[in-house]
Amino acid sequence: MSKIFEEILAKRGVTEEFLRPKYSLEHAKKLPDIEVAVARIKAAIDGGEAVLVYGDYDVDGVTASTIMCEALKLAGVKRVEVMLPDRFIDGYGMSERCLEKAVELRVGLVVTVDCGSNNAEVIQKLAEHKIDTIVTDHHELMSGVPERALAVVNPKRYGEDEADLEKRGLREICGAGVAFMVMQALVLEGMIPQNQEKWYLDLVLIGTICDSMAMNQINRELAYFGLIILQKTKRVGLLELMHVAGVQKIDSEAIGFQIGPRLNAGGRMESAEISLKLLMSKERAEAAMLAEELNRLNGERRTAQRAALEEILVDEKPVIVAAGNWHEGVLGIIAGRLVEKYHRPAFVLGETEGIYKGSGRSFGDFNLADAIKAVNEILIGGGGHAAACGVKLKKEDLGRFTEAVNQYYQSLNLTEQEKYLEVAEDIRVDNLAELDVDLYEEMSVLQPFGQGNTEPIFELLNTKIKFVETLGAEKKHLKFTLEKDGNLFKALVFNAREEWFNLDKDATYNVHINLVLNEWRGRKTVESRLLQIKKSDPGD
């Protein structure tokens, strides 16, 4: 092991258990209400009941729906139906259409995935129709546990101060992770043959990365084995999607930037049913057609996103609230872009028939789930996580909402938000020659990367800029040739900040980079991705 990699592992406190985790079925036993859920599924099988799986329209919801549908079929449920909400009709969560569908299909049980914790009213109505509900979810419970739900399998029921470290760790799993652990529980009950569940870990990995979950020990275990499964997947939908996306190397970057956006494009632009059909497809020709459709929708998403970003005008308030007639499917992405650009939390809302619906994105100590609770009386609906949420309000309440969310932000007296945006290096490197292919391949044991297990970051002090090249049709990307002590190194940055286009070539800079592997005609070389560049101080 190289000295550089040893230092990275030591600084991060990486253990052997984290580097090479062991697969376990045991975490499933710690989920709340899991025994009740398994018993009710068994009763549905014994009674010949039909079951409706109700999911969500994002990547986590679609992967979770696929896992749950196939788990119930493998366990022996006679008839499994599935319904995903329409972003534009239903919004997030269980809608009246869920109730109507369950009654129409004459199911005895509804199993939610990636939603349901905050839908007590619909669950109550289902109960009145003698339809039981099992909630499987990972979102914060805004008003406690839905009373009429038979089981609420949601690790967020455990507090942040939960004494049991395993239970506390479960709080960070995604909706697909919860669905998978329900499947594991069915394995433990002997209802599904052991080891068959492992072939669904590729979907758990995709859900985990695309829902930006923290890569704690439990998620590391799921993701580590998920990557192994994805790299040898036989799922024709994923194979065709990776083909149209041009995926050459299957890793966390391919999931985050190529696979995930295309799976999300269905629910964002048209219907998540396209993505669900792709993942559940058994026919190569059908999968190829669906993958092409998602690729097309992803192109439309990019166009709509670019147009909206060009329209938005930002004021000086600490929380950005932007509202307009933008495509509802891209609001969350735009909010994320505003956070990146302005270093402030952002809500982006789209208006339909006097109602604003939209998404919020945040960072650091400004928790959006808490913010929604604080302004709840203004909202028609809302929910989410610390860093991402959805909201719905009347058009005439936009001003009140903007004022209230900014007042709440100011009441917190947050003084250290900027520190969360600083790029922190894993190690400072003096000799560019040490950043080679061997080091890159050595670091690959940390894959898959994610929050809390990011790609290693290197700091280079007193670096010169030799050349700068603009790239892309819109000239928004830059390729730097960096020079340090006579050694040259390439650094690429996409959607570069405005100030990076006119850097002083006579100055020296401190730069932060990730390593990137290039392969061309069998030859491997290492370049880098530029994360941050600042003028050197005299004392550096």
pTM: 0.92
Domains within the chain, CATH numbers bracketed: 20-198 (3.90.1640.30), 314-420 (3.10.310.30), 427-535 (2.40.50.460)
Closest alpha carbon to 416 in 361, 362, 341, 366: 366
Q: Which of 229, 211, 279 is nearest to 70 (CA)?
A: 279
Question: For 271-296, what is each residue's pLDDT tens digit?
Answer: 999 999 999 999 999 999 999 999 99
Kindly tell me if the per-residue pLDDT of 195 is higher than 90: yes
pLDDT over threshold 70, residue 540: no
**Which residues neighbour 8 within 8 Å (Cβ) at sequence distance 6 or greater?**
426, 427, 443, 456
The number of beta carbons lying within 10 Å of the beta carbon of residue 328 is 19
Residue 198 CB-density burial (10 A; 0-12 exposed, 13-18 middle, 19+ buried): middle
Q: Which pLDDT belongs to residue 382?
A: 86
Largest CA distance in the chain: 78
Question: Any residues with CB less than 8 A from the CB of 86 and at least 6 apart, and which?
Answer: 57, 97, 271
Identify the helix (H) or strand (E) that includes residue 101: helix 96-105
The region of weakest confidence among 32-41, 49-58, 119-128, 154-163 is: 154-163
How many whole angstroms separate alpha carbon 263 and alpha carbon 295?
9
Residue type, 300: E
Q: How do residues 469-516 score in pLDDT, each as one tens digit?
A: 999 888 889 999 999 989 999 999 998 888 889 898 889 999 999 999
How big is the CA angle at 317 (ends 314 and 323), to the nearest 5 degrees? 45
* pLDDT at res. 539: 65
Per the DSSP assignment, residues forming a β-bridge with 526 are: 517
pLDDT in tens, 231-249: 999 999 999 999 999 999 9
Element (H, E) at 127: helix 120-128
Tracing tokens 């929380």 back to the chain, one arrives at 319
Chain mean position to CA 110:
25
Average per-residue pLDDT for the chain: 95
